[in-house]
Every structure is written in C-alpha cells, then in structure tokens.
Chains A and B, each alone.
Chain A
Amino acid sequence: MRSVDTTRPASDRDGLRTRSVARAGVLSAVTLLLGWTHLGFIPVPTPAGAATILHIPAILAGVLEGPTAGFLVGMVFGLFSFLQASIPLFKDPIVAIVPRLVIGVTAGYAYRVFSKSSRGWVLGSGLLGACIVGLFAWQVALSTLWLGIVVGVLALALAAGTVLAVMREERERVAIGLAAVTGTLTNTVLVLTLGVLRGYLPDFGTAAFIGVTHGVPEIAVAVIVTLAVAVSWKRLERPDTGARL
C-alpha cells in the first residue's frame, strides 16, 4: 500500500495530514478495544492488580505520525480511562486525562530527537538517564534497601543497553525504544505525581513503590510492542529495504 501521494494539498494546516488523522483514529480504536476487552491490562501480583499497555497506541502515534497525532490518541486514552474508571484515582479528570495527553507528545519528540542525533548524543543522554535513575536508586535504597537494589539494576541495564545499542549502530531501533521508554515514564510519573498531589496516594514513598512495581514491567512491555510494531510496519512501508535474514 504505497498509493498515498506524499505531496500535500494546500488545504492542510499545521502538518496534520489525512493519513495522520486516519492513523490516529484507528490507533484510538485499538486503545478502546484493548481497554474494553481487558486485553490491555496484564494481571500482576501487586495491590493495584494490573499493568497497562493502553498507552502504547499513543506512543506509536507519536513515533510514526508525530506529536500532534500522539496528543489526539492520548486524549482518547485519557477520556476512556476517565469514563471507565472504577477507582477514585482515575475518576478524577486531572489524574485520568491530563497525563495521557502528554504521552504521545513526549514520545514523538523523543523519537525525533534520538533518530536525528549523533552517536555521542544518544550515548550521552542514555548515560545521563542511567545516572538519574542511579541517583534515584540511591535515594530509594536509603529508605528501602531491596527496592533500591531493583532500581539500581534497572539503571545498570539502561546504561548497558545504551552502550550496546550505540555500538551496534541501530539508531532507528534505539530511537523507537527510547521513545517508548519516554512515553511510558511520562504516563507513570505524571499519574503518580498528580495522584499524590490530589491526595489519592498517601505519600511519595507509596507512589515510588507503585512506580517501580508497575513502571518497570510496563516499560519492558512497551519497548517490546512498540519496537515489534514500528519496525515491521516501517519495513512494510518501504518494500525496497527488504527483510533482514
């Protein structure tokens, strides 16, 4: 399917093309479907009960069609989460909708930055991110030792992954993966911060605990799904590149 003309008519404003609107609409439908069938909630043994993959369509829209499309899909996710919620935390529009608007936007910009930047940049920002996570791990370890160790291992994995990826010259995949990490972190961090600020969670310690137990599996799943879908779709879109055997 390469029949869509890429030279755009003058009536298009602010860069949102027909194809972007169509793709954002269909990705929103995927969000609704995953949420409605509960396929998008993966049961985990924590009090909250489930890790979500509903933010992945917003990340994909941000990566493939840019921040504006990511914003639109995030809005549908937020509205769905607000309308379907049955716990007080997500029946608050400020917690349910506002953070979700930003997921696709940050993921889209992260993809743009990382796919165009040089190796040094990717290496630098990856290591900087690992340092920030490491510092956070130290802070957590001061209060809860084992939780700190878990976060510390995560920081090491982030650093190792960045170095490995830069060495293997997989810029496109690294950019998609980092966009998925950015989008998921945006969701987790903003929801939990707003949850504490609005008084649904007792303090930042509880929020950090939920953040680690839910954020880590969500990041892993988001990276896997986003990479699988985005890479294979980009290859389908450009048949000339062919499959790598």
Chain B
Amino acid sequence: MQSLETLRHASICQYVPGDTVIHRMDVRVKLLCLLSLITAATICGSYVSHVALLSLCLLATASMRVPLRRVLASIKPALPIIAFMSTLQLLFHGDPTPTDTILYQSGIVSITASSIRSVVVSLSRLLELLSLVTLLTSAATMAQLSHGIAWFLRPLDAIGLPGDEMSLVFTIALRFLPILALQLETLAKAQISRGGNLSTRGRWKFVGTTRRALALVVPLFLDAFRRSERLAVAMEARCCTGGSRARRSTEHSAWRIGDLALTVGVALLSLALIVGDQIILH
C-alpha cells in the first residue's frame, strides 16, 4: 500500500534544473547529438572507440554536474542478469575463427580474445547509452522533448505518414500518466477493501502473481478506454481533429550558428569514430 501512495507523484523524466552548457542548448541539438552518439556507440566494436566514447560521456556528465551515482542507479537491480549474460557470452561465444587467439579451451567452453572483447564492448556500450539517456532526460523537460520530437517528425507529414499524430500521442500519453496512476491506486484500494491480496510476489508463484495483476490490469484498461472516449469527444468539440496543423502552438526559435556547429561537430566525431573503428577491426 505504501508504494501505491507514491504513484501519483510519478514522473518518468527526472529533470534536473540547471544552467550548464548542455542545459542551455536547443532541445533539437540535444536530440541530434544524442542520436549521433547512440549510433556510434551501437555500431562501434573496438576498444579504442569505446574508450573515447566513455570518456566523452564522463566529460558530459561532469559538465552537467549530475552525480555519477544517479547514472548508475538504474543498473543496480539488473546486475545479476548482466553478470549471467556476460558469463554466457564469455564462455560460449560460438566457434573461434582461425585468426582468433584462443586463451583457454576445454570441452565446449572456449575463451578467445574476441569473446573477451565482445563482453567488454557490450558492457561499456551499456554504460555509454545509460549515461547519454540519463543526461538527455536530466537536461530537458518532457514537454521540451515532445516538442523537439514533433519538430523532427514534421517531414513525415509531407510523405503521408502520421507525424503530427505521433507527437500528439506522446503528449496525451504523458498527460494521462498521472491520471491513470491515480486510477490504479483507486483500483488497488478497491480490490484490497474487497479482501484481495495484492502484495505477495514470488518468482515461483507466477500463476498467482498473474491473476493478481489481471485483477488490476483489466479494469485499468477499461477505465483508460472510457477516458479516451471522453477525450475524443472533448477534442472534437474543440475542432481538434487528428492531423490538423492548427494545433501547433509552440514554434521553435531559429537555429543559431553555435548550435549548428555543435551538431555538425558531434556528428562528424561520431562518423570518425565509426570509420576508425571499422579500420581497426578489419
């Protein structure tokens, strides 16, 4: 019950107010820089490029004065599974290629230089992506992010895809999250007051856990549908039909030279990392 009380203060995005260089950037610049760095982190597979990316992430974290503890906090519950998967990856990473250095082999277990590299690379990739995403949500509010994403989706309208609807869906989802959280709390209290037991959760009692979850999830869905119906009526009463351009209330300021230079710089850096990485690997 205690955990349910805190639901109404739910917020996925934990914005940290501040006045650092990264905070002052245009949200579109933040998104573009994030996109190019994520691309680099996802594609790169060599030690050198990941050392570069990791130090870049550390630098950005330090410049934003976000405590490193916050970045790492979300890894903690997943540590057992990370350890398990890494061990699997280390011990059974497929057949060694002829050029690979075999460090240890017995039976089906074989540790090679490339299996060690793949473990180290996927762990550092995790750290990089984690810190990049934490930095983005710390430096931009959800409203800013959704306006930024809407700006990038505008070209989709021209080719007939529902770009405007996408940003509308994001906005509705974020606005409705606290409302539905409150509803979930009410539902849980209603079930408990009827004698329902919602608290026990055990790994081996998954059938019971599922049934208890269903007692909350199914009414939650039906309530969400009822609310969506009311929302649709309210939107149409205000002539807000899907895909209308009149809804755009906020316009972004013009691109500044510094913003453009930074975006292009980060993109070039990521490209250089990817190209260098491919040269090292092959």
Residues of A within 8 A of B (CB): 1, 3-5, 9, 11-14, 16-34, 36-37, 39-40, 42-45, 47-49, 51, 53, 56-57, 60, 68, 72-73, 75-76, 80, 82-84, 86-89, 91-94, 199-200, 202-203, 206, 217, 221, 224-225, 228-229, 232-233, 236
**Given A23-B228, A233-B222; A72-B184 close (CB under 8 Å):** no
Given A72-B166, A91-B129, A233-B222, A28:B173 Cβ within 8 A: yes
Quick check: which of B54-62, B84-92, B98-106, B267-275 contacts chain A, the rest being far away?
Answer: B84-92
Identify which of B78, B224, B226, B244 contacts A87 (C-beta below 8 A): B78
Does A22 contact B231, Cβ atoms closer than 8 Å?
A: yes
Task: Check A202 against B92 for contact (C-beta < 8 Å).
Answer: yes
Chain B residues lying within 8 Å of A34, measured Cβ to Cβ, are: 217
Task: Give the docked Cα–Cα distance between A233 and B220 (Å).
Answer: 12
Bound Cα distance A232, B225 (Å) = 11
Q: Known contacts A11-B243, A49-B81: does B206 contact A26 (CB below 8 Å)?
A: no
B210/A42 in contact, CB under 8 A: yes
Given contacts A13-B243, A21-B169, A91-B126, contact A83 B221 (CB under 8 A): no
CB-based contact B77/A86 at 8 Å: yes
Bound Cα distance from A47 to B93, whole angstroms: 18
State in angstroms the CA–CA spacing of A21 and B166 once bound together.
8
Let me know if B31 is at the binding interface, CB within 8 A: no
Given the complex, which residues of B lie within 8 Å of A206, measured CB to CB? 88
Interface size on B, residues (CB 8 A): 79
Given contacts A83-B137, A86-B77, A225-B214, contact A33 B206 (CB under 8 A): no
The listed residue (A29, A44, A92) touching B176 by CB distance below 8 A is A29
- Hey, which chain A residues are within 8 Å of B251, CB to CB? none
A sample of 12 cross-chain residue pairs with beta-carbon separation below 8 angstroms, ordered by A number, consists of A1-B226, A4-B233, A12-B242, A22-B235, A28-B172, A33-B10, A72-B166, A76-B169, A92-B125, A200-B85, A221-B214, A232-B222
Q: Assess A30 versus B180: contact at CB under 8 Å? Given A24-B169, A86-B77, A225-B218.
A: yes
Output the nearest chain A residue to B202 by Cβ-Cβ distance: A43
Bound CA–CA A8/B89 (angstroms): 54
Pick from A84, A87, A236: contact of B81, CB below 8 A: A87
CA of A177 to CA of B242, assembled, Å: 29
A25 touches B171 (CB 8 A): yes
B139 to chain A, nearest CB (A): 14
Task: State which residues 190-226 of B face A: CB under 8 Å.
Answer: 201-204, 206, 209-210, 213-214, 216-218, 220-222, 224-226
The answer, yes or no, to whether B74 is at the interface (CB within 8 Å) is yes
B84 nearest CB neighbor, chain A only: A47
Contacts of B176 in A (CB 8 A): 25-26, 29
Verify A228–B241 contact, CB threshold 8 A. Answer: no
Shortest distance between the CB of B154 and any CB in chain A (Å): 14
Does B262 sit within 8 A of A, measured CB to CB?
no
Contacting residues, chain A, for B168 (C-beta < 8 A)? 21, 25
Interface of chain A: mostly helix, strand, loop or mixed: helix
With contacts A4-B232, A28-B170 taken as known, whether A43 is within 8 angstroms of B203 at the C-beta atoms is yes
Q: Which residue of A lies closest to B171 (CB)?
A: A25
Task: Give the distance in Å from the alpha carbon of A12 to the alpha carbon of B162 in the complex.
Answer: 11
Within 8 Å by CB of B88, from A49, A60, A202, A228, lies A202
Residue from B171, B203, B226 with most neighbouring chain A CB atoms (10 Å): B203
Given A18-B240, A34-B217, A199-B118, output 12 extra A-B contacts at Cβ < 8 Å.
Answer: A18-B241, A24-B169, A36-B177, A39-B217, A47-B81, A91-B126, A200-B122, A202-B88, A202-B89, A221-B210, A224-B214, A229-B222
Q: Which residues of B contact A217 (CB under 8 A)?
A: 206, 210
| Nearest CB in chain B to that of A60: its residue | B221
Contacts of A228 in B (CB 8 A): 214, 218
**B232 engages A23 (CB within 8 Å):** yes
Residues 124-174 (chain B) with a chain A CB within 8 angstroms:
125-126, 129-130, 133, 137, 160-162, 165-166, 168-174
Given known contacts A23-B225, A51-B206, A72-B162, is B172 in contact with A29 (CB within 8 Å)? yes
Query: With an 8 A cutoff between CB atoms, is B266 at the interface?
Result: no
Task: Report the separation of the CA atoms of residues A111 and B123 in the bound assembly, to the nearest whole angstrom.
Answer: 40
Contacts of A33 in B (CB 8 A): 10, 177, 180-181, 184, 220
| Residues of the A chain whose Cβ atoms lie less than 8 Å from the Cβ of B42 | 92-94
Check B181 against A26 for contact (C-beta < 8 Å): no
Contact in complex: A26, B172 (CB < 8 Å): yes
Does B236 reach chain A (CB closer than 8 Å)?
yes
Cβ of B38 under 8 Å from chain A: yes
Q: Are B232 and A36 touching (Cβ within 8 A)? A: no
